[in-house]
Every structure is written in structure tokens, then in C-alpha cells.
Amino acid sequence: MKREYLELQQVSTHNLKGFDLKIPLNALVLITGPSGSGKSSLAIDTIAQEGKNRLLKILNYDKEFYVTTSYQATFSSSMPPVFALAQGVRNWFPYKTVGEFLGLVKVLEVLFLLEGEVFCASCGAFNRVHSISQVISWYETLKEGTKFYFLVPLLEITPKAIEYLVSQGFVKYLIDDREIDLSEEQLPQSFKEVFLILDRMVKEGKGRDRLVENLRISFSLSNGRFFLKTTEGLQAQFSLRPVCFRCGSILPVGWSYCKTCGGRGYKQKVACDTCDGLKLREEVLKSRIGDFSIEEILRLDLKNFKEFLSRFSEIKGLDTFIKSLLYKLEQAEFLEIAYLSLSTPVFKLSVGEKKLIEVLQVLTADLTHCLFILDEPTLGLEVEQRVKVLEFLKNLVKKGNSLLVVEHDPFFIYEADFIIELGFEGGEKGGYLVKADFNPLYFEKNCTLTSAYFSGEKRIVKKEKTRETEILEFSLPLGRVKILSNRINLIYGRPGSGKTKVFHQLFEFLVNQDKQVVFSDLSVFRRKEDWVIQYLNLWDLLREVLSQLPSARVKGLTKKHFSFTSKEGVCVGCKGKGKKIYKEEETVIEVLCEECLGKRLSLEVLNLEYKGFKIFEVLDFTIEEAFQVFSNLPKVKEKLMHLIDIGLGYLKLSQEVQTLSGGEKSRLSLIKNLTEKKQVEYVFLEFPFEGLHLEDINRLHQWIEKMVAKPMTFIILETNPLALFLADFLTEVKHQKIIFQGFFEDWLKAQPETLKEKFAFYQRFVAKF
């Protein structure tokens, strides 16, 4: 069979350098390359965007604002439908529960309408509420010629009420199972059960019309409540209106939501008092399907929910839907996340759990001939789960799909069908297509950065430590934990193991002890419009210097004039926003401010010169360039040096922090926090290898080694297999307990052979000195 390709020409979105590219379809295609080399620009901002645009065109969303033109490339081939899971998807619906996210609550809702028994808050009875088609289905199952009664229960069973009905012509009754005609006989002295016999029917040709007519009458007689009872004793109770069969009270209609929280379940991460985060009305929670109340079902874990659901897999019309969910739940067991309950909100999941839920949701959709675009599907996962996700991806390809995955795990690169490598560095020095080839051709000749790591030409160097260490012991709520001082300590475990808790508890403990602690904090990136230079508080240092320039003083410029926020400093054209925003109907158009060209400051300031560069140009410098120009300013130099060391030298001073990747943000924040402390004893890093290429990991690791030698103690939370090789001391957390503390080599010895083999693959990337 001839292979089809997705063909792109002149790809020049963001920093991409206008290359042509042929991507094979029906294959596992992997995109790799160092930080900032343009991987997301290619996968998410170009290909996923084109896919979305093509889809919107079909759907006739031809309005301009739906089609963003920010990507630049020509597509000269047809394209399968695209499903893109960009980083950050996992934060879209924090208050959704696992059950909602996976479509399990939806099936529960349907089952509830079909099979549920609604709880009556007035009398405690359980009621079925039926549709007319359910009555007809029951009728259709009867054998031809079967005789049956259409019985109506009486709300009031007093002789007076019965007398009235008789006067209206309703004379036939079933009293304690005996048929009595009250126009001929007297009402017995005592009895237990009375039904009005609305009709005696036979299952036959025209019987259905008569049945529907009787249903109509039952609405006015008994609010749509009735029994059908065959002469052989087969009986069914129906209720067409949401009214209690026993006491006549009004029942909640369908799947109704908690009134206190409006069905949101949570507010600012706290569960609603009324529904305890289950989102439904009390009567619905107490209602039941089979032997379980809805509340009990929502609290089931995925494993037990699978058993519950399998009982309904034969329901006509629902069977395909339920079978697809059962398959999904089976895969949840395979990925080892079946311990999560339906009602767990997404915000409570760990990074790895979110990733697995996402992968599960998309990859169990029974689709073929689609293009899936994934960004780092291994994030937060440990080795065995990574292997499982890879199997998942391969299965999707077997089903006829195409996969485009941005990923750096060397095992994924090794197993991919086709590898696209971007380079050579980040930012302006990046955006080149270094190599795009099938496996194993890609690995031949070792001419790329990535393949150099595979051939052993390059390795991540782990230094043997000479400086003395001390075992520090801390008593945390989750148990005693040991840490080696002046070493790299790794806290490791599967998603949901409790490792993050240990990490945070240790952090809080040390802060409370007044230790000098530094960590990377992503929450400080909330001010999205900030530039790198502002975020680092570098601009404050620089404007101090710049306002002292003779040329500035001549013009009467002060520090205020160098501010992005003061009225003296900002560009009058855009009031310091750098862009102008127009609204045309529903369309929002952003245009670069033509006065300051996005540099936010007044022209008076932008035109000043420092060492022969206009401020305008200075703001466009990369960190590396700025390091050369400002080398005479020690404080500025120190920050910039760290950033270069840690692999961020390619970032522009005026880059908006919101455009940075997770890995870039975490390193940037680390350096900011580190350089703003006089003395640092402990450094906490949460998933520092997120989104990092082997080369970036290498740089980051060298930087950590340098800091450790100062000395500093590092505590790292990471699941990347390479982290185990690079750390000096390992803490494993499982089931909310610390189960191992010691050296990786000793830990590995105690692991099963299959796991040892998996780790052996990663060993080649690390060299010890």
C-alpha cells in the first residue's frame, strides 16, 4: 500500500525557518528538539490550527475571527480530522469530576431515566417513572393472545370515594385479587387492596391503540399511575408522571441538580455542604439503580463501577455505548488508575493522574483515520506507565490513525516510526528542521543532537560528590523522611502515591524552621502581560542605571520615565499596552502599537542610547546578548548568568511570560527566587524535567551540580526515569507511605526483572564521573 503524507511547505510560524516537511500518515510520528526550538509552534500552532480551520470551514463558521491566521504554512495535501491535546487542557475543567470527564456520569443519567427508582422525600418510597414507550415495550413482550388487566390504584380508598367513581360509571374493581362488579355486588366489609379495573385487554393486532387510549385516561384518573397484570399473574407497575406511587407527592424530575451549588459541586476547591461535591439533589442521590443508591454509585471507584455497569450491558440501544465505556474502564485498570472514584474532582488529581485520564479519554474514543496531536503524554508518569501509554499509542496507529507526539522520553523516540527533530537552539537560533526521517534511518550517522545521545557520543554527566554530607531526619505528618545535605534528593512514586504530599510537607517543615528555602512557583505567572525582564525584576535594576545616563538627565528623565506603568513613562499611543485593541461586532482585533512598536515606553526613552544601542533594541535583546552588554553590572550579570547556565539564554527580554512553556516558566521562576535570596540552603524543584530535551536536562543537571557544590541541598519531585539515575538519594512513596530511602542502585536491585530491563534502557544516557 502506498503511504500517504501530510505535506507542508514554507512552515514559518513563530520562529520556524520556512522549511518544507512531509509527515507520514498512519504512523507514530515524534517531534523532539531542545527548549524553544519550535516544537509546539509546529505541532500545536500550525498543524492543529490548520486542522481546526478546515473543520470550521466545513461547519460554515466563515466569520473571520474563528480563523486565526497567526500560523504561516502552506498545506498541499489532504488532512485527516485532527484531535489536539495541547498542554494545559488538563486545567480546562477543574471542577469536572472523573466520572463526568470520562462520560460515565452521562451513562448513569441515562440508566437512571430507564432503570432508576426515584426516592420520595415525603414517604421514603422508591418509584419508577416511565415513558410511554417503556409501557409499549412491555406490552410488545407479551405473547399474542395474553389477557391482562389495566388496573388503576386509588388514592383514597373510602366507601364514599368508591361510591363516587361508581356513579361515574367505573364499576369494575379488583379487590384483594377478586374481580368485583360494584353495580351488582356490595363492597366487602374489610379488604387490603383495591384497584379500579379500567380495562380487560388482550395482546392482539389493535390492542396497542387501545392501550394508548387507556394511558391517556390514566393521566386524569391517577396522574398516570397504573398496573398491568396478566391473568397468569405477571405484573408491572408504571408511573408516567413524576409522582410518588405510594403517597402522591411530586418527585424530582430526572437528573436534577443540587440547588445550593447549582450543580457545580465546588467553590474555590471546597465541596458544597449540601451535596458534598456530588452535584445532585438529595432526592436524586438517595434514589437508586439496582441495589445501589446514586450516591453510592458516584462514590464507587472505576474498578467497581465497571462491575456495576457490566450488568446493564445488554440493554438494547445502550449496549454499544455501555460496551465502549466498559472498554474505557478496562483500559483505566490497565493504566492503573481504576482506584479513582467517579466523584473525584479533576483539580484534586496529581499531574500524572490528569495526564492518564486525558490519554484514556482521547485514546479510547473508537476513531479511525484521525490525526491525534499530543504534547508530552508521559508527563508525571513513571517508567511502567510510560511503556503502557506507548502501547496505547501504537494500538491507535494499528487502528488506522496517525499520531503526532511532542515528546522527549528517549524510549518513545527509540520506538517511534518517524522522528522530526527541530534545532539547533531556542529562540531565533531555533526553528530549523534538523532531520525528519523514518526509524532506523534517523539514527544512522548520528548527525543530530538527539542521535548523539543515542550513540553515546553525548551523555549527561553525573558527578561523584566529594563534599561531606550529613543525614538530616525530619518528622512529617506522612512519616519520617531522611535527606542527604548538599546532595540531590529525589522524591519518587506513581501518580496518586502521595509523593507530592511528602514534597510539600517537607517544604513547609523547613520553612517553619526558618531555613533558607527556594522553590519554583508557577502561580506568580498570573500577571500575564509581564515581560521576562519585568518578571525577573531586572528592569528595576536597569532603569536605575539608565536614568542616570547623561543623555537622560539632560532631558530631565527620571526613574519614573522608565516605567511600564507610570503615566510619565508609557507610550501615549497605547497607554503602555504595546498594542491597540479594536472591537468590530464580535471580532476583537489586536494591532501592534505603531508608535512604540510594542515596546510600551515613550519614544523619548526608547530612543536613548546605552553603549551604542537604543533602548528600543535593548528590549529586543536575548538574555545572552544582554549578558554581553550589561556585564559591568554585577547584580544584572548574576541573574543573566544563571539563566544562560540553566539553558534559557535564548529568551528575549521583552518576551511575554504567558508565551513560555511550563518548563521555561519553572526554570525562570527558580532563578528569580534563587537570585533574590542572600543565602540559600534548600532548593525544591517540582517536575523540573517537564518538556525538556535530553540536552536541556543535561544543562539543568550541570547547573544543579554546580549549585550543590556551593553547597545547597536539592529536593526534586520527578518521575522521569533519568531523574533516578541523576539523583544522589532516593525516597520512594507508595500508598501514602514512604517505602524506600536509600541509593538508586540498591532500590533497583530489589525491583522485578521486567522493571530492571526498562531502566537498563535509560542507563546509556548517563555517565558517572
Query: Which one, 122 or 368, has the nearer CB to Zn ion?
Result: 122
Determine if 272 is a binding residue for Zn ion (CB under 5 A): yes
Determine if 249 is a binding residue for Zn ion (CB under 5 A): yes
Query: Which one, 282 or 609, has the nearer CB to Zn ion?
Result: 282
H/E stretch holding 267 reads strand 266-267
DSSP string, 371-389: EEEEE-TTTT--HHHHHHH
* Cα 746 to Cα 754: distance, rounded to the nearest angstrom: 16
Shortest distance, position 120 Cβ to Zn ion, whole Å: 3
Q: Where are the alpha helices (DSSP H) in 72-201?
A: 98-101, 104-115, 132-141, 159-167
Determine if 123 is a binding residue for Zn ion (CB under 5 A): yes
Q: Provide the sign of the torsion angle of the four alpha carbons 441, 446, 451, 457, taken in this order.
A: positive
H/E stretch holding 554 reads helix 550-554
Q: Which stretch binds Zn ion (CB under 5 A): 91-99, 195-203, 251-259, 318-326?
A: 251-259
Residue 249 burial (CB < 10 Å; 0-12/13-18/19+)? middle
Q: Provide the sign of the torsion angle of the four alpha carbons 174, 179, 182, 188, taken in this order.
A: negative
Query: Which one, 250 or 739, has the nearer CB to Zn ion?
Result: 250
Shortest distance, position 588 Cβ to Zn ion, whole Å: 18
Q: What is the dihedral of CA 183, 187, 193, 196, to 10 degrees?
A: 20
Using CB under 5 A, pick the residue from 29, 98, 261, 346 that binds Zn ion. 261
Query: Which one, 124 or 400, has the nearer CB to Zn ion?
Result: 124
Q: What is the CA radius of gyration of the chain?
A: 34
Determine if 670 is a binding residue for Zn ion (CB under 5 A): no
Determine if 247 is a binding residue for Zn ion (CB under 5 A): yes
Shortest distance, position 159 Cβ to Zn ion, whole Å: 24
Query: Which one, 157 or 748, has the nearer CB to Zn ion?
Result: 157
Determine if 565 is a binding residue for Zn ion (CB under 5 A): no
Determine if 573 is a binding residue for Zn ion (CB under 5 A): yes
Determine if 260 is a binding residue for Zn ion (CB under 5 A): yes
Place of cell 388487566: 149
Q: How would you write 272-330 as a 3-class SS string?
A: CCCCCCCCECHHHHHCEECCEEHHHHHCCEHHHHHHHHHCCCCCCCCHHHHHHHHHHHH
Q: Which stretch binds Zn ion (CB under 5 A): 120-128, 497-505, 696-704, 748-756?
A: 120-128
Helix (H, G, I), strand (E, B), or coil: what is residue 396? helix
Euclidean distance between the first and the last CA atom of the chain, given in angstroms as a whole number: 50
- From residue 619, how far is each of 369, 558, 566, 613, 635 by CA, in Å? 46, 19, 18, 10, 18
Using CB under 5 A, pick the residue from 416, 574, 700, 716 that binds Zn ion. 574
Binding to Zn ion by CB under 5 A, coded x per residue (else -) over 318-337, reads --------------------
Q: Which stretch binds Zn ion (CB under 5 A): 265-273, 307-315, 629-637, 649-657?
A: 265-273
Spell out the residues 6+ positions from residue 612 whose beta carbon is closer than 8 angstroms to its own.
none
Neighbours of 636 (CB within 10 A): 19
Query: Which one, 341 or 736, has the nearer CB to Zn ion?
Result: 341
Determine if 175 is a binding residue for Zn ion (CB under 5 A): no
Shortest distance, position 596 Cβ to Zn ion, whole Å: 3
Q: Which stretch binds Zn ion (CB under 5 A): 15-23, 131-139, 253-261, 505-513?
A: 253-261
Shortest distance, position 101 Cβ to Zn ion, whole Å: 19
Q: Which stretch binds Zn ion (CB under 5 A): 108-116, 302-310, 587-595, 657-665?
A: 587-595
Q: Where are the alpha helices (DSSP H) in 195-273?
A: 207-222
Shortest distance, position 287 Cβ to Zn ion, whole Å: 12
Query: Which one, 44 or 258, has the nearer CB to Zn ion?
Result: 258
Using CB under 5 A, pick the residue from 120, 298, 337, 546 that binds Zn ion. 120
Query: Which one, 90 or 130, has the nearer CB to Zn ion?
Result: 130
Phi then psi dihedrals of residue 216, to 5 deg: -60, -45
Count how many residues are written for the chain: 769
Query: Which one, 299 or 388, has the nearer CB to Zn ion?
Result: 299
Shortest distance, position 262 Cβ to Zn ion, whole Å: 8
Q: What is the dihedral of CA 758, 761, 762, 766, to 10 degrees?
A: 140
Q: Which stretch binds Zn ion (CB under 5 A): 73-81, 157-165, 269-277, 604-612?
A: 269-277
Using CB under 5 A, pick the residue from 346, 483, 596, 685 that binds Zn ion. 596
Determine if 246 is a binding residue for Zn ion (CB under 5 A): yes
Determine if 275 is a binding residue for Zn ion (CB under 5 A): yes
Using CB under 5 A, pick the residue from 12, 274, 547, 736 that binds Zn ion. 274
Size of the site for Zn ion (CB under 5 A): 20
Binding to Zn ion by CB under 5 A, coded x per residue (else -) over 370-389, reads --------------------
* Cα 522 to Cα 756: distance, rounded to the nearest angstrom: 34
Assigned C-alpha cell, 224: 398516570
Determine if 571 is a binding residue for Zn ion (CB under 5 A): yes
Nearest to 349 by CA among 714, 683, 97, 676: 97
Determine if 636 is a binding residue for Zn ion (CB under 5 A): no
Query: Which one, 390 or 574, has the nearer CB to Zn ion?
Result: 574
Place of cell 556585564: 631
Shortest distance, position 272 Cβ to Zn ion, whole Å: 3
H/E stretch holding 511 reads helix 499-512
Determine if 361 is a binding residue for Zn ion (CB under 5 A): no
Nearest to 83 by CA among 456, 301, 359: 359
Shortest distance, position 69 Cβ to Zn ion, whole Å: 23
Pair 323, 316: CB distance under 8 Å: no
Determine if 280 is a binding residue for Zn ion (CB under 5 A): no
Determine if 122 is a binding residue for Zn ion (CB under 5 A): yes
Shortest distance, position 293 Cβ to Zn ion, whole Å: 17
Q: Which residues bind Zn ion (CB under 5 A)?
A: 120, 122-123, 125, 244, 246-247, 249, 258, 260-261, 272, 274-275, 571, 573-574, 593, 595-596
